[in-house]
Amino acid sequence: MTAGATYVPIATQTLGSAVSTVTFSSIPSTYTDLILVFTGSVSAGTGTNFTLNGDTGANYSLTYIYGSGSSAGSGRGSNQSNAGYEYMPTANAIHTNITHFMNYANTNTYKTILMRLNGSTVQASAQANLWRSTAAITSIALSAPSANWNTGSQFTLYGIAAA
């Protein structure tokens, strides 16, 4: 077996001003997985989302589980034009999210994305997203519809390499 350093920061964006969309582009295809770490908030309650490679076709779906503090539940969305990211119903409430884009550069398979989400005022949850595309992921655009990502929100993209 061989060993080497594998958990590599690709880029960090810490917002100096509020924006509605944060984009990571020109993502290298040299890793096995990507991990996106988010901590931050939005200016108004919204359901955030992301698109991959600018694809706005109905190629996204997800299955999720959540605990709201008083109950647990599960749901899903199908044939969506973007990928469900974090439900952020309260303005300025801090959320965290760690998202794993598995085998993101494999051009033979659809992409499964695993996510752990925590909201300071709403819920803890996890979800599996599917992007029905065999393209390698080269860009990720995270949007807060009818709102902005607040100043100070931070997004860091890491690459995980394989042996």
Q: Can residue 161 be called a binding residue for other proteins (CB under 8 A)?
A: yes
Interface with other proteins in residues 84-143 (CB under 8 A)? 100, 102-103, 106, 108-114, 116, 126-130, 132
How far apart CA 2 and CA 58 sit, in angstroms, is 41
Minimum distance, C-beta of residue 36 to other proteins, in the bound complex (Å): 13
Instruction: Mark residues 56-75: x for contact with other proteins by CB under 8 A, - for none.
Output: -----xxxxxx-----xxxx
Nearest Cα to Cα of residue 161 among 26, 50, 35: 35
**Residue tagged 């803890």 (tokens):** 124
- The answer to whether residues 16 and 150 touch, using CB atoms and an 8 Å cutoff, is no
How far apart CA 5 and CA 133 sit, in angstroms, is 29
Q: Give 92 or 133: the residue with its C-beta nearer to other proteins.
A: 133
Distances in Å between the Cα of 65 and the Cα atoms of 21, 26, 68, 75 are 26, 32, 10, 7
Give residue 7's identity as a one-letter amino acid code: Y
- The answer to whether residues 105 and 137 touch, using CB atoms and an 8 Å cutoff, is yes
Minimum distance, C-beta of residue 80 to other proteins, in the bound complex (Å): 9
Q: Can residue 163 be called a binding residue for other proteins (CB under 8 A)?
A: yes
- Give the one residue of 19, 44, 93, 94 binding other proteins; rule: CB under 8 A: 19
- Give the one residue of 27, 52, 117, 142 binding other proteins; rule: CB under 8 A: 27
User: Which residues make up the interface to other proteins (CB under 8 A)?
Assistant: 1-17, 19, 22-27, 32-33, 61-66, 72-76, 78-79, 100, 102-103, 106, 108-114, 116, 126-130, 132, 156, 158, 160-163
